[in-house]
Amino acid sequence: MSNDPATLGWLTLDEDEELLWSSRPHRYSLVPALAVGIPLSVVLIGLPIIAGAYLTYTNTSYVVTSAGLYKKTGVLSRDVQKIGFDKVQNTSYSQSAVGSYFGYGNVDISTAGSGGTEMRFRSVSEPAEVQQRVNRQVKDAEPGDDGKADVLDEVLEELRAIRAELEANG
């Protein structure tokens, strides 16, 4: 999938936000639906299975930007979910036996206070690499100790000013 934001008509980036990665489910994730659907298509039951799997595949997108994670789903409607890196608590990935063979798997993203998986990138190529990319962005988004030191310096300066004022007046 292209990393050009113009090809993702559903995605609106902030001025300082940069598209880093985008994908859709791996094409081999259609194999189970085809394995069931093709034999059943003889009796016309399998056609909806194949059509549903294909429509889900073509209408699902996953995006990692410099500001957060996006997931777009929906066949007749559109559902776009965003999670900022500052909210990400934990990431993990998993692969089934078929996914390991074909090189795809799921990446799960948990947020603070969600009590479970908040977002799942299903059947993405190279899930370990995607997880590492997300983890790098989460780490880069963490506030450094410089912010705490600046606040403490301001508080200390304010306390010194109050002390000097009290000593001068009292």
| Whole-number pLDDT of residue 103 | 93
DSSP label of 106: E
Q: Which of 13-22, 73-82, 98-107, 130-139 has the lowest mean pLDDT?
A: 13-22
At residue 5, φ and ψ (nearest 5 deg) are: -60, -25
Contact 53, 97 (CB under 8 A): no
Domains of the chain: 5-25+60-143 (2.30.29.30)
Measure the CA–CA gap between 44 and 149, rounded to whole angstroms.
68
pLDDT of residue 128: 96
Neighbours of 131 (CB within 10 A): 20
State what percent of residues in the chain have pLDDT above 90: 46
Is the whole-model pTM more than 0.85? no
